[in-house]
Chain A
Amino acid sequence: MRRLIRKLCFGIVCAALPALSQKVAIQAPSSVSAGSSLAITTTGSGSATLYLIGPSHVRKQSIKLGQEVEISGQDLAASGNYQAVTCDSEGCVSALFQVLPAKPIRLAFMLHPSRVPVSTPKAVNGAALVSDRYHNTVIAPTRVDFHLSLGGESSTRSVESVRGIAWFEMGSRPKQGALQVVASVDDTAEPRVIQQVAAEACGLRMSAAPSGHFVKLQTDPIRDCGGNPLPDGTIVSFTKTDAAGKSTVDTPIKKDKATAQFEVSGPAHISVACGVVVGNELTLGGRP
Chain B
Amino acid sequence: MRFGLTLLIVVLTAVLLIAGWVQSGGMKLRAERAASTPEEAVRALLADIQAHNWEHAYALLDHANDIQKTDFIPDIAGTDGSLRTYSSLQSFDIWPVHADATHATLRVRMNWSSAVGSLDDVRDWPVVRDGSVWKVVWPKPNFANVPLQVLPVNYLRWDVIGKRSDEFGSAAVDSPQVRIISMNAVERPDSVVIVGEVENEDTVPAYLNVSATLLKPDGSPLAKQDSFDEIAHSLLPKQVSPYRIDFPGIRLNQVKSVRMDVHPLLVPASADPVISVENQNVNKDALGRTVLKGALINQSGQVVNIAQVLAVFYDSSGKAIWVSDGYVDQALLPQAPVPFAVDIPADVANRMHDYHVVVNHYTAPSA
Contact = CB atoms under 8 A, between A and B. Distances in A.
B238 A244 contact: no
Q: Give the residue among B155, B174, B237 with the most A Cβ atoms within 10 A.
A: B237
Contacts of A231: 203, 237
A73 B174 CA distance: 40
A235 B158 CA distance: 14
Contacts of A192: 171
B279 A245 contact: yes
B277 A249 contact: yes
Interface residues of B, number: 38
A99 interface: no
B156 A233 contact: yes
A232 B156 contact: yes
Contacts of B199: 275-276
Interface of B (DSSP majority class): loop
B74 interface: no
A252 B281 contact: no
B239 A109 contact: no
Q: Give the residue among B172, B236, B238 with the most A Cβ atoms within 10 A.
A: B238
Contacts of A274: 238
A49 to B, nearest CB: 38
Contacts of A211: none
A234 interface: yes
B236 A245 contact: no
A111 B174 CA distance: 10
Interface string A99-114: 0000000011111111
B204 A247 contact: no
A274 B355 CA distance: 17
Interface of B: 154-156, 158, 168-169, 171-174, 177, 181, 199, 201-205, 236-240, 271, 274-281, 294, 299, 355-358
Given A113-B177, A275-B201, 4 more contacts: A190-B169, A230-B203, A248-B356, A275-B238
25 contacts: A107-B169, A110-B169, A111-B171, A113-B174, A114-B172, A114-B174, A115-B177, A115-B203, A129-B169, A195-B203, A197-B203, A201-B238, A230-B203, A231-B203, A235-B239, A236-B238, A245-B279, A245-B280, A247-B276, A249-B276, A249-B299, A252-B271, A252-B274, A262-B278, A276-B199
